[in-house]
Amino acid sequence: MNDCASLKDLDLLRLLQQSDPTAFQELYNRYWSKLYYLAHKRLKSSVAAEEIVQNVFLTIWRKRTTLRIEDPAAYLAAATRYAVYHYLAAEKRRAENEGVAGRRSPGVVAGEMLIDDKQLLEIVRQQANELPEKCRLVFIYNKLEDQTLPDVAQRLNISVKTAEAHLTKALRLIRSRLKDSALFLFF
């Protein structure tokens, strides 16, 4: 068993990549309260903040062998902020869906009006397949396969700025097409 308390963060990450549970525990102990504070400050909910921080650490453990982190404090803070934003967006969608369901006639079931997640994902995939080649690849790797833009850029042998430009173009085209098809679906 390693004495990880005296190690620097980057040393902990190296041990973590080798699946050392004590390194993970030390990283968790060092950053849990800071990340909890970040999440709680924005959410004002201890339950949601705890869940988000737990999920951040769970993701770190699951991806431990493939993560390439240069600044653990910044990475963990950014991951927590992103998870908070994702949580808030999901809560907003849920509230909007409940509002839509409440305004329907009593005989209509909420699920009948909403597109199933799998159907929506399939629609997005179909829209992505119609994009120009590089835009399509950047979009699929980044948004559907959850790869970072620097990883996507390296994989496609392009600069990160070029990958960002392709992603921006892809998102603009897909949003535009989905908006048009959503109007078709509801009318």
3, 45 Cβ separation under 8 angstroms:
no
Q: Is 90 exceeded by the pLDDT of residue 161?
A: yes
Q: Domain coordinates of the chain in residue numbers?
A: 4-89, 115-186
Spatial neighbors of 178 by CB under 8 A, at least 6 apart, are 123, 124, 127
Q: Lowest mean pLDDT of 22-26, 94-98, 147-151, name the range.
A: 94-98
Q: Dump pLDDT digits (tens) for 71-130.
A: 888 888 888 988 888 888 888 888 887 765 555 444 444 444 444 556 666 777 788 888
Of 3.40.50.300, 1.10.10.10, 3.40.1350.10, 3.30.70.1450, the CATH number of 115-186 is 1.10.10.10
Provide mean pLDDT across the span 139-143: 84
Spatial neighbors of 147 by CB under 8 A, at least 6 apart, are 141, 155
Range 4-89 has CATH code 1.10.10.350: no
pLDDT recorded at residue 34: 93
Contacts 24+ apart (CB under 8 A), 128-131: 128/170, 128/174, 130/177, 131/170, 131/173, 131/174
Average pLDDT in the chain: 80
pLDDT category of residue 7 using cuts at 50, 70 and 90: confident
